[in-house]
Chain A
Amino acid sequence: MSAPNSSYDPVAPSALDEAAVRAATETAEAAIAAAADLEQLKAVRIEHAGDRSPLALANREIGSLAPAARAEAGKRVGAARGRVKQALASRQHELEKERDERVLLEETVDVTMDYDRDPVGGRHPLTTIQERMADIFVSMGYDVVDGPEVESEWHNFDALNLGPDHPARSMQDTFFVESPDSGVVLRTHTSPVQIRTMLTQQPPIHMVAPGRVFRTDELDATHTPVFSQIEGLAVDRGITMAHLKGTLDHFAEQLFGEGLVTRLRPSYFPFTEPSAELDLQCFVCRGSSVGDPDHPCRTCSSEGWIEWGGCGMVNPRVLRACGIDPDEYSGFAFGMGLERTLMFRHGITDMRDMVEGDVRFTVPFGLEL
């Protein structure tokens, strides 16, 4: 391309003129700023930074200048093109951001909509309370042991010092397997698991046995013929009632809250001696409702204590029936009802809720208690 001939067109301002460069730059910058979207900016880019833009043309003129003038003109045009390029990039970024935001806004959904597509399951609280209780004992070093629900009378009664004529035996309303002299019953308590354990293990024995038991009660708000217990047994040298108390206190604290204690009251069970009723300090009022009619406690009926279970030192006759020498070993045992525990721990007021299998009862208890 031939060099411009200034003498040929002396009035035309040179494209490399400082004013012309400034004007082209300002025009470009104004157009960039005015571009409302990426489409417009694309056109602006072609017009003001493309090959045929004033600054590109000016740049091309530089070569026609006298060498002495080239450096300065080059510097001026270069700077101008740099500014325009910068402005373009910056506006591009701005417009892209705006576009992205708009698209994301358009894609907005209502995240509060119900999503109940998948069925929600749950474990029955009778299962999870068993596990929770057993976990506490496992953490103390105990075994968790099972036994059969259909049990021999010998395991369920005889070996537990409940001989055929024992008055306590008639107190238990037992399901007998046909025929009545089959010697087989539905276990009336989890205590036969103690017997099975002691018959197969040598002391030291520390075990809990949660499970289902059966008595011939009709189902009502507070009774069920099929219910659950957890049984505990420790047999070792030198086991005392103090150990029993310590173990139960620890258990109560773990299950109901720090600082809670248990109370033992003398009682009678054929398989323990001494025997005790086990009361739990009320975990709701901690006894503050006693004698305070203005603040009654529904959980403990303002007694301060909740009847929880039975316990005692394993009767030496029971040890003997299992081949354990009572002169060398002693043991403690305890048991409590799981339905009852659930009722006061979770405020369940009707036994039938635990029996009927309504999923609306199971599911809210989740997978762990």
Chain B
Amino acid sequence: MRVPISWLREFAPIPESVGARDLSARLIAAGLEVETVDVVGSGTQGPVVVGRVEHIEELTEFKKPIRFCRLSVGSAHGHPDTPGLREIICGAANFVVGDLVVVALPGATLPGGFEITSRKTYGRTSDGMICAERELGLGDDGSGIMVLPAGSAQPGDDALALLGIGEEVLDIAVTPDRGYALSIRGVAREAATAYDVPFSDPGLELPDLPPPAQEVLPHEGTSADPSACDLFTLRTITGFNPHASTPVWMRRRLIAGGMRSVNLAVDVTNYVMLECGQPLHAFDLDSLRGPVVARRANPGEELETLDHVARTLDPDDVVISDDTGAIGLAGTMGGLTSEIRDDSVNIALEAAHFDARSVARMSRRHKLSSEASRRFERGVDRMVAPIASARATALLLELGGGVYQGMTGFESASPVPTIEISATLPGDVAGMPISADTVVEKLREVGCDVARADGRLSVTAPSWRPDLTDPYDLVEEVVRLVGYDHIPSVLPIVPPHEGWSDERRLTRRVGLAMAGAGFAEVPAYPFIGADDLDALQLPDSDPRRATVRLANPLSDAAPLLRTTLLPGLIATAKRNLSRGAAGLALFEVGSVFLAAGAARAVRPDVNRAPSSEELAALDALLPQQPQHLAVLLAGERAPDGFWGQAHDYGWADAVNAARISARCIQASIRVERGGDPVFHPGRCARLIVAGAAIGSAGELHPRVIEAYGLPARTCAMELDLGALIAAASGITPAPVIGTMPVAKEDIALIVPSDVPVASLRDVLLAAGGELLESVRLFDEYSGAQIEPGKRSVAFSLRFRAPDRTLTAEEVAAARQAAVAAAEAEFGATLRG
């Protein structure tokens, strides 16, 4: 809502000394969000005066028509050689001799720093410039020069003052509850309250109209559906002069208010709407066929609206109709057939009150938002329609002649609810004392009727505040008018709670461990495309293909929610590589979304707590959303340096990433040979926690690498972090630290190549008994000296007893037991 301050002052006489900054601050404190203070025609500086066109010479020797004009500009502004006159070249043709125009004289500056000088052009000396609205910074109308209504000014008058250039305008972002602030009237009320000056409400007093002439019957208008339209008025005016122009003062305010000047009839409806907040609609009376009726649309009914869009209507839509069918979307946009035209002599003026929700739904359904719909969906004063309509009629009669023939209409009585509130509630909610007197005073400032009995108040909200429906609405009014800046700052006493949940705490710990291990965290958007699922080589049966699809994705290429973090990491890796990264270790912790079976949408009543069945039904709508941890490793792990040669990330780094995440939260993870199709079939680890597979790690499948254009041997790991955290041990028992001497033995076993080291080690450890403290792989070999299909794996065994130095015999026996078990289990033989 754009509010010219001079217009505001018409109803709220705030002191002249109050500047725009102070006014903004007070309105902001009262809850109106003043975003900016604009200056009308900012950048325009005098001398800019009114000129009358005295003579036009058409210059035809140029590519486009050019006019050389002589203008009266008043005795003080003429050229020294031609007193009172200036000669100016002009490229526009929308004016005639005798018209009043706006002339920027040499020495003037127009927006954009454009300085006006006397200059030679088109073979003449042009001694200034005849201005269009846009050139003066008054709006976007650059279609022709600005022609002022005849008699509205004298040549030589200061055009800056006339056009309101330099006037300050508040630009206010109106919140959805404050429909009344979409009017000068509403903002003026707040300003008057803020400065404690009397407020004269233009929405309360019915302007004087001449008695209906009744030369013709006023056109009939009514509502057929009180649920959609509970108040409808239609005033009839005949003999209007369609050529009467909009006075400068009105045009000035419309432009400052952010609207365009169209013609007098439309301008008047817009002017009254800005002033009172009541949208009005002017019909060409002669185009109407039969009574004008507000009603719900018929199924399949069609309407072409003013924006030339043919619309099929919904039975929930509210339309204005006549015998021909729908002629407008109520309170939203008129139709083409009955629209007022530049030659309309007879006018039917509609002012009505439409149901806010219906208009909101209609506006959304048709993706159509207008000045009118914005107001109706936020709530328009139910009582103001006849007053606004009378005000508009009076203006039309005054400015465009015409005869008032009377009004028809419909009104259904709607009860005005009374809100009961304790006088102490506002203070209790604010946490500061607010006296009952203050509460009553503030509510009356808002416009409420307040009846007081003991500590109870019975409050009736004014018709322009349909948003005030329950006690807390009133509390907000009182507290904001007392001032939020008076609320004290008090820390509440908080009883003990759990703090960080285990899941959050351990997730944080994993993030710290990953970052400490050299991984950089890079959160990605969760949107992926079907292309990603293909690029990952996922078979149709893969659970990662059970995606959730968005109805309105930002990009048609990525309409799915991720079921794996890998596509995001891959895209991020590629971006980093394209920016010159030599090596990357990335990680992300985030949700993936695994589609649930279809469930029927439910919508429990919000006036009570939902039942557990209802809550279960709501949760059944949602996909599973586990938290995953994933890493991506590509390129150089260590560069060349004095320490040695560069080397790249490999599969083992990816598997180790899983171990890092598990170790830091004392979760026990087991690695098996895996078969995830995203990974290289021979270089994929399955990650097992508590007997269940929770993820994969290794080198990406060469086809995945190729599909994404990743560096060769790019590696990755992804696991279900929630499952890992669930396996974190609660209270870790302390280890036993042996202080007796250790005995070390190395063994090399030749085993079939497909025996995993992890299994072999488990068997050695189990068979080595209590004396075998640890088993560590230190070498792996296959090749020339080993029989095909087998390989040699070498382990360091450490033996220790808690209470004594082991004898050579004891160590040998334990070692032999371990080797024997490996022989028995895997056919292992001791090497050399």
Contacts and interface: CB of A to CB of B under 8 A. Distances in A.
Interface of A: 113-124, 126-127, 131, 134, 138, 140-146, 148-155, 158-159, 161, 163, 165-168, 170-171, 175-184, 186, 199, 204, 206-207, 212, 216, 218, 225-226, 234, 236, 239-243, 245-247, 249-250, 261, 263-268, 270, 273-277, 313, 315-317, 320-323, 330, 355-360, 362-363, 367
A180 B551 contact: yes
B93 interface: no
A121 B491 contact: no
Given A150-B625, A153-B603, A359-B581, A123 B511 contact: yes
Given A113-B642, A207-B497, A175 B550 contact: yes
13 contacts: A119-B585, A134-B504, A166-B176, A168-B176, A177-B550, A181-B601, A182-B601, A216-B554, A242-B430, A242-B431, A268-B175, A321-B606, A363-B520
Contacts of B585: 119, 121
Given A123-B515, A168-B176, A356 B575 contact: yes
A265 B472 contact: no
Given A119-B518, A268-B175, A274-B479, A183 B603 contact: yes
Contacts of A140: 491, 494
Given A148-B625, A167-B377, A178-B548, 19 more contacts: A113-B642, A115-B643, A127-B589, A143-B497, A152-B622, A154-B603, A170-B363, A180-B552, A216-B552, A236-B492, A240-B490, A242-B488, A242-B490, A246-B490, A274-B472, A276-B484, A277-B33, A313-B472, A359-B581
Nearest to B589: A127
Given A151-B622, A359-B581, A246 B637 contact: no
Contacts of B504: 134, 144, 146
A141 B497 contact: yes
B604 interface: yes
Contacts of B603: 153-154, 158, 183
B808 interface: no
Contacts of B548: 150, 177-178
Contact of B491 (A243, A270, A313, A367): A243
Query: What 8 A-B pairs come out closest when comparing CB atoms?
Result: A323-B609, A240-B431, A242-B431, A266-B31, A183-B601, A357-B522, A119-B518, A268-B175
Contacts of B524: 357
Interface in B548-575: 548-554, 561, 572, 575
A306 to B, nearest CB: 15
A184 B621 contact: yes
A359 B519 CA distance: 9
A359 to B, nearest CB: 4
B726 to A, nearest CB: 15
B2 to A, nearest CB: 20
Q: Does more than half of chain A's interface fall in helix, strand or loop, or is it mixed?
A: mixed
Given A119-B518, A357-B576, A330 B429 contact: yes
A315 B550 contact: no
Contacts of B484: 241, 263-266, 276
B378 A167 contact: yes
Contacts of B552: 175-176, 180, 216
A263 B485 contact: yes
Nearest to A155: B618
Contacts of A321: 606-610
A179 B550 CA distance: 8
B586 interface: yes
Contacts of A313: 429, 472
Contact of A149 (B492, B549, B625): B625
Contacts of A149: 526, 591, 593, 625
B496 interface: yes
B28 interface: yes
A265 B585 CA distance: 45
B123 interface: no
Nearest to A183: B601
Q: Which of A124, A146, A167, A316 has the most CB of B within 10 A?
A: A167
Contacts, number: 295
Contacts of A204: 494-495
Contacts of B521: 121-124, 127, 362
Nearest to B476: A274
Contacts of B517: 121
A41 B602 CA distance: 100
Contacts of A171: 176
Contact of B175 (A126, A158, A240, A267): A267
Interface string B717-730: 00000000000000
Interface string B142-184: 0000000000000000000000000000000001111000000
Contacts of A138: 499-500
B638 interface: yes
B178 A268 contact: yes
A300 B503 CA distance: 37
Nearest to A277: B33
B615 A239 contact: no
A357 B572 contact: yes
A270 B470 CA distance: 13
Contacts of A150: 548, 561, 593, 622-623, 625
Contact of A316 (B472, B492, B639): B472
A359 B512 contact: no
B60 to A, nearest CB: 50
Interface in B1-49: 28-31, 33
A241 B480 CA distance: 12
B292 interface: no
Contacts of A266: 29-31, 476, 480, 484
Contacts of B586: 357, 359
Contacts of A270: 176
B497 A241 contact: no
Contacts of A275: 476
A265 to B, nearest CB: 6
A216 B553 CA distance: 8
B476 to A, nearest CB: 4
A265 B29 contact: yes
Contacts of A250: 491
B515 A122 contact: yes
B550 A176 contact: yes
Contacts of A175: 550-553
B366 interface: no
A323 B430 contact: no
Nearest to B641: A117
Contact of A167 (B360, B550, B606): B360
A31 B780 CA distance: 62
A242 B522 contact: no
B745 interface: no
Contacts of B760: none
B584 interface: yes
Given A267-B31, A316-B470, A148 B377 contact: no
B354 to A, nearest CB: 13
B58 interface: no
Interface in B472-511: 472-473, 475-476, 479-480, 484-485, 487-492, 494-501, 503-504, 508, 511
A11 to B, nearest CB: 71
Contacts of B430: 240-242, 274
A114 B642 CA distance: 9
B579 interface: yes
B497 A142 contact: yes
Contact of B522 (A124, A154, A320, A323): A124
B357 interface: yes
A298 B119 CA distance: 43
A344 to B, nearest CB: 19
A90 to B, nearest CB: 41
B583 interface: yes
B606 A158 contact: yes
Contacts of A355: 525
B180 to A, nearest CB: 13
A245 B487 contact: yes
